[in-house]
Amino acid sequence: MGRVSKGLGGAAIAMLLTASAASAQIDVTCASDTLDHASWRVRALLRCHVGVAAGRAPDRCLAKVAARADAHAVACLGTQDLAALATRSDQLVDAVLGIVGTDASRCATTKHRAAIGAVRDVLHCRSRAVRGMPGTTACFGAAERRLDIRWARGESKGPCGSAGGELTLDRLLEAFVADLVTILGPDGEPASLFGTYDAVIGPDPRPVVGASEALGRIAEVSAGTLGLVLRFGPYDSLSLRGPNADTGALVLDGSLVLGGDILFTANATATVSIIGTERRVTGVAYVGYDGDRTVTFAMARPAAGIPPSLNGAHVLTFAHSPDGLGSTSHAAFDLAVPADGIGTCAATSDIDGQGATRGTFSSGECWVSPRGRWHFEGRYAAADPTSPAASCGGTGAGFCRMVMDGRLMAAFPGSGHYLLGWPPIIVSSGSWSATR
């Protein structure tokens, strides 16, 4: 079953396997016990709700889960961490019920069981990774395949629940595991408010269904004023600003830009919080002159910031060279990004399969999120004066503005898209894949 984002087999694996900064400081036995406890708690609560759908009273079941959870609480966790684990588990259960549904249909019951199995599989794989056992990547791959099969079985008896539920479940589990890593992690200074964030924006303001991953950034634009930007496409962004607040409420205003040249006014309210040492910003933007469209967003930034492993050379292969003449090409982008996620990419050349230079990329500002969302903005100058990129849509500039967005990974292939030109004139566009 194809999905837009392979949450269990792609981004989640990368996050789980590269969480070494946190894992190195976590007691392995404590971490394994906590993961087992969280897995049991969430699955038990979901089973209670399956019983509710079948007509059984929930109170007795839920009381048993609470009593057992208290009796078998993980000894290595303090009261605050146990409370955080319980709260986060309850939130996950509520979210799963929201996408699966609570009726007694065969479709909903089958999807409930699929979600229960996915929780068990994902946390089991994470426990293996914490204990240093081999085969973690294969474990997550098998978990994804089992979820595909179980979810399809439910769909065959449906429909039921919300559209795109499997993808949403992927993301919920990925976020849940990230939160467990935060709960297990050592106490310390919280993440800075300023820097890049991994984010989700939804519903996507563009004409597609569901939520989209985004790259967020918060910066101090002047004394007492912050700027918040969410980029979810090469020329698509939500830009807001307002009074600075390290925690608590934010009141912001700005604009939503689609395609680089379609502008909507936007006003937003948001809340800044700290979970463990992770900084989070959640909010809702009211878009349009009448505020008739709402866009929600959620942003997260760990205290460690950007993993150093993301820096260095990434070789981007373009399905069609940005010069617009059709050949495949590649370019090595060398990232030099500090922990706040804002740095530079050095100038580089666009080389085709015969080793000829098709063009050059200028140096440019790079944004990188903690989990590898990437944004580059610079210039591209084509070597062939007859190419579409050389004229840049008839401007005669000799170069074009180049914008790229996507994901770069430390140990897995990356991918994304680029646009060349100044909207509304787009000279060329296409996709790229990245390797180390």
Q: Three-class SS of residue 356?
A: coil
How sure is the predictor about 19, in pLDDT bands with cuts at 50, 70 and 90?
Answer: very low
Position 201 pLDDT exceeds 80: yes
For residues 312 and 149, what is the distance between their CA atoms, to the nearest angstrom? 39
C-alpha distances (whole Å) from 424 to each of 260, 337, 364, 373, 431 are 7, 31, 22, 25, 19
Residue 140: its pLDDT value, please? 82
* β-sheet bridge partners, residue 57: none
Taking the whole predicted model, whether its pTM rises above 0.85 is answered as: no
For residues 71 and 46, what is the distance between their CA atoms, to the nearest angstrom? 20
Pick the closest to residue 185 from 70, 304, 273 (CA basis): 304
pLDDT digits (tens, 9 = 90+) for 324-374: 888 899 999 988 888 899 988 899 999 999 999 999 999 988 999 988 899
Pick the closest to residue 199 from 370, 360, 379, 17 (CA basis): 370
Task: Among 69-78, 285-294, 378-387, name the most confident range.
Answer: 378-387
Task: Among 192-206, 237-251, 295-309, name the most confident range.
Answer: 237-251
Residue 261 class from Cβ within 10 Å (0-12 exposed, 13-18 middle, 19+ buried)? exposed
How much is the mean pLDDT over the chain?
Answer: 79
Position 1 pLDDT exceeds 60: no
Thinking of the domain 195-301, which architecture would CATH place it in? Beta Barrel (2.40)
Rounded mean pLDDT of 47-62? 68
Position 55 pLDDT exceeds 50: yes
Residue 205: its pLDDT value, please? 59
> Tokens standing for 360?
């050059």
pLDDT digits (tens, 9 = 90+) for 261-280: 788 899 999 999 887 677 88
| Residue scoring higher pLDDT (26 or 339) | 339
Position 25 pLDDT exceeds 50: no
Position 83 pLDDT exceeds 90: no
Residue matched to tokens 């449906």: 158
Q: Say whether domain 308-435 belongs to CATH 1.10.357.
A: no
Residue 6: its pLDDT value, please? 39
Position 292 pLDDT exceeds 50: yes
The DSSP code sequence of 78-144 is -HHHHHHHHHHHHHHHHHHHHHH-SS--HHHHHHHHHHHHHHHHHHHHHHHHHTT-S-HHHHHHHHH
Rounded mean pLDDT of 203-226? 76
pLDDT digits (tens, 9 = 90+) for 131-181: 767 777 788 888 888 888 888 888 888 777 766 677 778 778 877 877 777
Residue 170: its pLDDT value, please? 77
Q: Establish whether the linkage from the previous residue to 423 is cis, with ω within 30° of 0.
A: no
Residue matched to tokens 């996620």: 341
Position 197 pLDDT exceeds 90: yes
Residue 268: its pLDDT value, please? 93
Least trusted range by pLDDT, from 135-144, 219-228, 235-244, 425-434: 135-144
How sure is the predictor about 11, in pLDDT bands with cuts at 50, 70 and 90?
Answer: very low
Percent of the chain with pLDDT over 90: 19
